[in-house]
Chain A
């Protein structure tokens, strides 16, 4: 028991130390490395909170993909950094914002300490209804069945964000290809790593998706791993980013929300309500949704990271 507690305290202190270092670090590159370390430590915190599904998501999206995204931006903004470092705000503003931040942190901490006891929970409800879907992982049940509307709208948000990113392209590049960050001359080793890791990563991604039915895992985590592998191949220069005007690409992008909508409307037509799954085939329908969703998530996340197209489409 005491070892447990000491380990928790150690992880928490480490998270905070890295967080503080990241905020005060001078160079952007250092700050992003600090942020990725922060994310991986928060993954350990989620593990200790017995939230394995969330830990998987944090490791994949919160740390890995976000880190790569910020790093790509930092590299492009590099020429700007030294010139603008003088623009730190004055001491008065910094003290005021430190006070504000401390107040917010103290309020949140007080809220943690004053949480009602016994805690309100929906776990019994989730357990009672888990028989309806035939899945063993309660988090997947909530995501795909009990709160399916949230998940469907989230897919729409992803596609909208991608539309937003693409709309920042220059006019002449519209329909062209994005250029994700690429190794200039580190050629061989990057290519080797991509060739080695990608097949393994695809297997792991599908495995995590498959496990998601009964154990921690699922479409988000699996899709993120697939996205990372695609990006790795593009970063190593082994594959080009697709032109965003490609019809097949766009079909994959809308497949996830579309399947969700079709199932939802079918539920309205044949059954009780929007997104009501057929009672006898709930598991099969959910697995189809998850599979299509994984593909859409993988492609959307990878393209979000690749940024707006900046090369004209080659004929």
Chain B
């Protein structure tokens, strides 16, 4: 059973990897922002499966923290990305 769960976590990780390639490639910043979404779901699933496979319940706490921080990073991405997409507020500030 442990091996099945570990294999499943490897499979989900492979899906995250493929998705990550697609998402990082862009071209829009909105695509790249999905990276956090990918970890917020796929990364959590990988961790939960690993936790069950190895009987280390503390991994569920890592999943919890990753879910929270992925959401936090997503907000930072959206705010930062929105600023990057916005028209420039008058070129560089020169003295």
Direct contact of A and B (CB under 8 A): yes
A158, CB-defined interface residue at 8 Å:
no
Known: A75-B83, A79-B92, A182-B79. A47 touches B59 (CB 8 A): yes
Contact assessment for B69 and A59 in the assembled complex, using a CB-CB cutoff below 8 Å: yes
Contact assessment for A30 and B24 in the assembled complex, using a CB-CB cutoff below 8 Å: yes
Known: A43-B66, A44-B46, A67-B73. A56 touches B79 (CB 8 A): no
Distance in angstroms from A181 CB to nearest chain B CB is: 5
* A residues with CB within 8 A of B: 3-4, 6-7, 10-11, 14, 18, 21, 25, 27, 29-30, 32-34, 36-37, 40, 43-44, 47, 52, 55-56, 59-60, 63-64, 67-68, 71-72, 74-76, 78-80, 83, 181-186, 190, 193-194, 197, 200-201, 204, 207-208, 211, 215-217, 221, 225, 228-229, 231-232, 235-236
Contact assessment for B24 and A33 in the assembled complex, using a CB-CB cutoff below 8 Å: yes
Known: A40-B66, A59-B66, A197-B71. A30 touches B32 (CB 8 A): yes
Distance in angstroms from B91 CB to nearest chain A CB is: 6
> Which of A18, A29, A67, A217 gathers most chain B CB within 10 Å?
A29
Distance in angstroms from B44 CB to nearest chain A CB is: 11
6 contacts between A and B (CB under 8 A): A47-B59, A56-B62, A76-B83, A181-B79, A215-B61, A217-B58
Q: Mark B5-39, 1 if CB is under 8 A from A, else 0.
A: 01101100110010010001010010011011001
Contact assessment for A186 and B79 in the assembled complex, using a CB-CB cutoff below 8 Å: yes
Known: A37-B39, A79-B89, A204-B68. A184 touches B13 (CB 8 A): no
Cβ–Cβ < 8 Å partners of A34 in chain B: 24
Cβ–Cβ < 8 Å partners of A43 in chain B: 43, 62, 66
Complex Cα distance A63/B83, Å?
21
Complex Cα distance A75/B77, Å?
10
Distance in angstroms from B64 CB to nearest chain A CB is: 6
Complex Cα distance A135/B44, Å?
29
> Which of B62, B82, B89 gathers most chain A CB within 10 Å?
B62
Residue of B nearest to A61 (CB): B69
Complex Cα distance A114/B91, Å?
53
Contact assessment for A236 and B24 in the assembled complex, using a CB-CB cutoff below 8 Å: no
State the 8 A-B residue pairs at the shortest beta-carbon distance, nearest first.
A64-B69, A75-B83, A68-B76, A71-B80, A75-B80, A216-B58, A33-B32, A228-B72
Contact assessment for A232 and B75 in the assembled complex, using a CB-CB cutoff below 8 Å: yes
Residue of A nearest to B34 (CB): A33
Complex Cα distance A215/B60, Å?
12
Cβ–Cβ < 8 Å partners of A197 in chain B: 68, 71-72
Contact assessment for A193 and B62 in the assembled complex, using a CB-CB cutoff below 8 Å: no
**B76: contacting residue among A14, A37, A72, CB under 8 A:** A72
Contact assessment for B71 and A193 in the assembled complex, using a CB-CB cutoff below 8 Å: yes
Cβ–Cβ < 8 Å partners of B81 in chain A: 29
Complex Cα distance A6/B88, Å?
47
Complex Cα distance A304/B94, Å?
26
